[in-house]
Amino acid sequence: MKNVFLSVIVFAALLLTATNSMAQTAPLKIGVFDIDLMVQAMPGYRAIDSLTQIYERDSLGSEYEIYQSEYKRLDSTFKSDSAASKPKAVLDYTNNQRQQIAFNLIYWQQIAQRKSDDKRGAMAQPLYEKVAAAYKKVLDTKKYTLILKPNTYELGSSAVENIFPLVAKELNITLPPELGGAQQNAANTQKPGTKPQQ
């Protein structure tokens, strides 16, 4: 009988402790945001995109042509040195140079993409800093528990809040409709004191 009574008291204490801890935890607050998409919505990003395309066309295009001509030169040098029975050290050196250039030509798409991304990232750094500062202000104010990227949750969930309009308001920019710009515009055109239409 003592064991049963003791078990009931322990169970009641555990239940009381669990209830108190659940009451103290904050509710789950989920937001949706992607800093890359927000930077792309910034007004200055179009200029960065245009400059990156010029860089790809002019600088990277020229670099690829240089690799092609250098490979042809090294290949013909290697063939003529082989025919002339040059020393093995000379042939090995030319062959190694030719292989390095061939490697760059084979993986040119990846090399060019990395260089293009680096160039775009360097030019967009001030925009990223502005968006990050505005995003931090929104997070400090709204106290989100979890932030998801778009397309990582089921649409229609009312528990998920779109953070894009809040950050756009902080930055004083207009969002495109795909990021919630239509909602932002509707909220801005309301009469003061009226509730937003659901």
What is the Rg, in whole angstroms, of the alpha carbon atoms belonging to the chain?
Answer: 30
- Rounded CA-CA distance 50/120 in Å is 10
pLDDT tens series, the chain, 198 aa: 555 555 546 555 565 565 555 545 667 788 888 999 999 989 889 999 999 999 999 999 999 999 999 999 999 999 999 999 989 999 999 999 999 999 999 999 999 999 999 999 999 999 999 999 999 999 888 888 888 888 777 666 667 888 889 899 988 888 888 777 765 444 444 433 333 443
Q: How many CB atoms lie within 10 A of CB 140?
A: 9
Tokens 């260089």 found at: 115
